Amino acid sequence: MCGIVGYVGKQNAVSIILEGLKRLEYRGYDSAGVCVQQGRRLDVAKKAGRVENLAKVAAKHRFTATTGIGHTRWATHGGVTDANAHPHVSSDGKFALIHNGVIENYAQMKTFLAGKGFAFQSETDTEVLCNLIAYHYAKEPARAKGRNRFLESVRKTLRHVEGTYGIAVLCTDFPGEIVGARKASPLILGVGDGEYILASDASALVSRTQNVVYLKDGELAHLTPKGFSLSTLDQADVSPVVDRITWSIADSELGSHAHFMEKEIFEQPAALENAMRGRFSADGSTAQFGGLNISAGEFREMERFMFCACGTAWHACLVTEHLIERFARVPVEVDYASEFRYRNSPLDPRTLFFVMSQSGETIDTLAALREAKRKGYRVMAVNNVVGSSIAREADGGIYQHAGPEVGVASTKAFTSQLLIGAMIALYVARMRDMSFSDGVEYVNALKGAPDLVRQMLKQAPRIKAIAKRYAHYHDMLFLGRLSLFPLALEGALKLKEISYLHAEGYPAAEMKHGPIALISEKCPSVFFAPKGEIFSKIVSSMQEIKARKGPIIAIATAGAELPPGLADDVILMPECHEAVLPIIASIPVQLLSYYIALERGCDVDKPRNLAKSVTVE
């Protein structure tokens, strides 16, 4: 989850690293640090807190070096302190290292190294890794004859590591060089004009170059002022494949918006249009996908679908489950990716797997993908990042094309996933028994979704006023049914993430089976109340809440006749097709959560304890 930047070139390394760290701060903001190499000297500056704190410390050092590494931390091993901030330096002073991931066998390593006289200044697993490199470097220099001793010491160390890592390392004996490596934590090499940048995310390097090499698991990168090389842990050389980033730095900047979350909420119409562009058949009756790498016949033979994801993407999978079963009549199971790999779930051989992850680097989802493939299943991926680990390892997939999402609380990526889930449901349904005319109606509804979202966004001032009235509460319930039950879960998650209010999502009918005990005048409820066959049932649940003096916010479709006075506040959605309804219903809960968080003075883009990409278990 941490952010990594390494630079080798001709410019001032610190200014470039700090710029990159600011763009990576959404990956972690507990502490930040930088280490530059000036000749055979390593100079380190690090500080608990945000990157701006580091920038103030670094300014006092007046760094001029052209090689360096930098890090912004999401704490795993050890508390949030200056000592635990990266980079870490080996006890002999020869190596500096930054790390994203978790070293699972660090305790055994630390015991071994302490017995060899190595000292430790922090509580982190990363410092252990740095000292182990120093140990191998000092122990067997002759074995590296004919090869770069620095590179070989890192390589040998990593053969002993259990866990995950994306690392960048400096060595005093090799000025101007960086060694990087990855295993289950993202690492990208930017290839610029006479300069090279290592980063855990493309946003850190896209201002310098759009030419990138995506490192694979078990690969090491060796950067020098004259070039770079790739190799494996087994010393095999790797021919680099240079890809090109298709978005610009402007896509990841705030522009006129106060926060990235606000910007990304209002980018949703465009994100939806991008997600569906070119993905409908010529006759306008079904969806089509170019990257599934599975024939229509093979797809049709599947008797079951399995979806794995985490967090917000899991909620999108739940909506997709409802739509596939509703329109295609194929059974679907949705599992937490973090649980799937540890369960021995019986599966039909004719099961097709889907994994969803905005970043394409979510470690639990990646592990679920690998487990499914290990058991012989084909796995499709829905993700937003070209070249990500999940995109590369899946058998086929669908890119969201939502553009970079910087806000920790997902908004446009979520509605993009909902849209793609609806398109998958259509694709399967048309293969089964959905008629041509129903398919055309479905497609037209999806095409109209961006304009309906624009209509909802116009209600932002009204929703802001509603949010102000509810920001002082400490608990809130979100209630929905069928395809909007996952939206109740998502609404509660959004509020928890960015405002730190306690919130829970439930199926509306489940309230009377226990959670209604929570209801009082101090616990508001947000109800999804769409017009339809179960509207009267939802109204009954609302009346049960009202009888116990619970305040109610109703998110209802236009034309739904709520009894007068039942809801304290009503947010109206336009009437729409069932496949589009979850997308439209997402907008008011996103805005409500955003404005409540603002009213409470919370940092919506960098909520406490969270990071954007969860790359550690």
Active-site pick, 22, 156, 183, 612: 612
- For residues 139-156, give the mean pLDDT: 78
pLDDT-derived band at 76, boundaries 50, 70, 90: confident
pLDDT of residue 612: 59
Residues 229 and 124 occupy one common structural domain: yes
395 domain residue, yes or no = yes
The C-alpha R_g of the chain, in whole angstroms, comes to: 26
pLDDT at residue 533 greater than cutoff 60:
yes
Residues 280 and 366 occupy one common structural domain: yes
**CATH number reported for the structural domain that contains residue 339 in this entry:** 3.40.50.10490
pLDDT of residue 147: 72
Q: Cα(267)–Cα(66) distance, rounded to whole angstroms? A: 38
Q: What is the separation of C-alpha 81 from the centre of its chain, rounded to a whole number of angstroms?
A: 25
pLDDT digit string, tens, across residues 467-497: 999 999 999 999 999 999 999 999 999 999 9
- State how far the alpha carbon of 91 is from the alpha carbons of 4, 104, 116, 174, in Å: 22, 21, 11, 18
Give, for 153, the enclosing helix (H) or strand (E). Answer: helix 149-158
Q: Which domain holds residue 244?
A: 3-251
453 domain residue, yes or no = no
Active-site pick, 2, 308, 523, 576: 2
pLDDT digit string, tens, across residues 162-202: 999 999 999 999 999 999 999 988 899 999 989 999 999 88
pLDDT of residue 82: 86
Nearest 5°: the CA angle 80, 8, 97 is: 30
pLDDT-derived band at 570, boundaries 50, 70, 90: very high
Q: Cα(260)–Cα(409) distance, rounded to whole angstroms? A: 10
pLDDT-derived band at 254, boundaries 50, 70, 90: confident
**CATH number reported for the structural domain that contains residue 173 in this entry:** 3.60.20.10
Q: Are 75 and 123 in contact (CB under 8 A)?
A: no
pLDDT digit string, tens, across residues 352-375: 999 999 988 888 999 999 999 999
Question: Shortest CA distance to 449 belongs to which of 282, 289, 585, 315?
Answer: 585
Q: Which range, of 61-75, 85-99, 218-232, averages the lowest pLDDT?
A: 61-75
Residues 212 and 276 occupy one common structural domain: no
Residues 356 and 262 occupy one common structural domain: yes
Residues 434 and 485 occupy one common structural domain: no
pLDDT of residue 431: 92
Residues 413 and 489 occupy one common structural domain: no
pLDDT digit string, tens, across residues 308-357: 999 999 999 999 999 999 999 999 999 999 999 888 888 888 999 999 99
Encoded amino acid at 133, one letter: I
pLDDT-derived band at 613, boundaries 50, 70, 90: low
What is the value of pTM for the model shown?
0.84
- For residues 97-114, give the mean pLDDT: 94
Query: Which of 230, 251, 272 is the endpoint of a domain?
Result: 251
Give, for 314, the enclosing helix (H) or strand (E). Answer: helix 311-327
Query: Which of 447, 472, 498 is the endpoint of a domain?
Result: 447
pLDDT at residue 520 greater than cutoff 90:
no
615 domain residue, yes or no = no
Q: What is the separation of C-alpha 179 from the centre of its chain, rounded to a whole number of angstroms?
A: 26
pLDDT of residue 560: 84
Residues 582 and 495 occupy one common structural domain: yes
Percent of the chain beyond pLDDT 90? 69
Residues 6+ apart with CB under 8 A from 334: 306, 307, 308, 309, 314, 317, 318, 320, 321
616 domain residue, yes or no = no
Residues 407 and 282 occupy one common structural domain: yes
pLDDT of residue 141: 65
pLDDT of residue 394: 93
Determine whether 2 is an active site residue: yes
575 domain residue, yes or no = yes
Q: Cα(189)–Cα(212) distance, rounded to whole angstroms? A: 5
Question: Shortest CA distance to 75 belongs to which of 464, 570, 616?
Answer: 616
- Cβ neighbour number for residue 53 with a 10 Å cutoff: 16
611 domain residue, yes or no = no
Number of independent structural domains in the chain: 3
**Higher pLDDT, residue 327 or 615:** 327
228 domain residue, yes or no = yes
Burial readout 8-41 (b: 16 or more C-beta within 10 A, e: otherwise): bbeebbbebbbbbbbbbbbbbbbbbbbbbbeeee
Tokens at 348, concatenated: 């039909």
Residues 389 and 431 occupy one common structural domain: yes
Residues 419 and 356 occupy one common structural domain: yes
Residues 372 and 342 occupy one common structural domain: yes
Query: Which of 193, 228, 251 is the endpoint of a domain?
Result: 251
pLDDT digit string, tens, across residues 194-234: 999 999 988 888 889 999 999 999 999 999 989 999 999 99
614 domain residue, yes or no = no
DSSP secondary structure string, 357-421?
Answer: ESSS--HHHHHHHHHHHHTT--EEEEES-TT-HHHHHSSEEEE-------SSS-SHHHHHHHHHH
Residues 290 and 313 occupy one common structural domain: yes
pLDDT digit string, tens, across residues 1-54: 688 999 999 999 999 999 999 888 877 788 999 999 988 899 999 989 888 999
Quote the mean pLDDT of the chain: 91
pLDDT at residue 239 greater than cutoff 90:
yes
Nearest 5°: the CA angle 336, 338, 343 is: 85
Tokens at 352, concatenated: 């097709």
pLDDT of residue 407: 86
